[in-house]
Amino acid sequence: SQTIHQWPATLVQPVGSPLSLECTVEGTSNPNLYWYRQAAGRGLQLLFYSVGIGQISSEVPQNLSASRPQDRQFILSSKKLLLSDSGFYLCAWSVRTGSPREQFFGPGTRLTVL
């Protein structure tokens, strides 16, 4: 069966510090991968998605970046965190073809920037 891992589960970082969040998927090949941020208002904001190794699409201009060095690994990074980067970061995957193409979410990382 497929599983998705995210770490760390919680993170407290000072403003201006770097960030690296990692997501890995097991049990599937060639998944579409996604990074979302969920702020206190509960909505899911799509940050990045990837349809293959090295292929990253950015949805929202910001000081975050994403990389996909391996088929089932997706990394979210920042060189300098801002207070507004606080939130709940969710990684998700979906199959690339077929239906339903539901998204499977990881457990998330709660980031607090102080």
Which residues here bind other proteins, judged by CB under 8 A? 32, 41-44, 46, 49, 51, 57, 59, 90, 94, 99-108
Give min distance, CB of 9 to other proteins, in A: 11
- Least separation in angstroms between residue 102's CB and other proteins is 4
CB 45 within 8 A of CB 36: yes
Select 9 or 14, whichever has its Cβ closest to other proteins. Answer: 9
* CB of residue 14 to other proteins, shortest distance in Å: 25
Q: How far is the CB of 108 from other proteins (least distance, A)?
A: 5
Please give the sequence-ordered ranges of beta strands (E in DSSP) within the chain, or none if there are none: 3-7, 10-13, 19-26, 32-38, 44-52, 55-58, 64-70, 73-78, 87-94, 104-105, 109-113
Of 44 and 53, the one with the shorter C-beta distance to other proteins is 44
| C-beta of 26 vs 59, nearer to other proteins | 59
Q: Hey, what long-range contacts does 64-68 have (CB within 8 A, 24 or more apart)?
A: 64/19, 66/35, 68/33
CA dihedral 67, 68, 70, 74 (to 10 degrees): 90
State which residue, 14 or 29, has the beta carbon closest to other proteins. 29
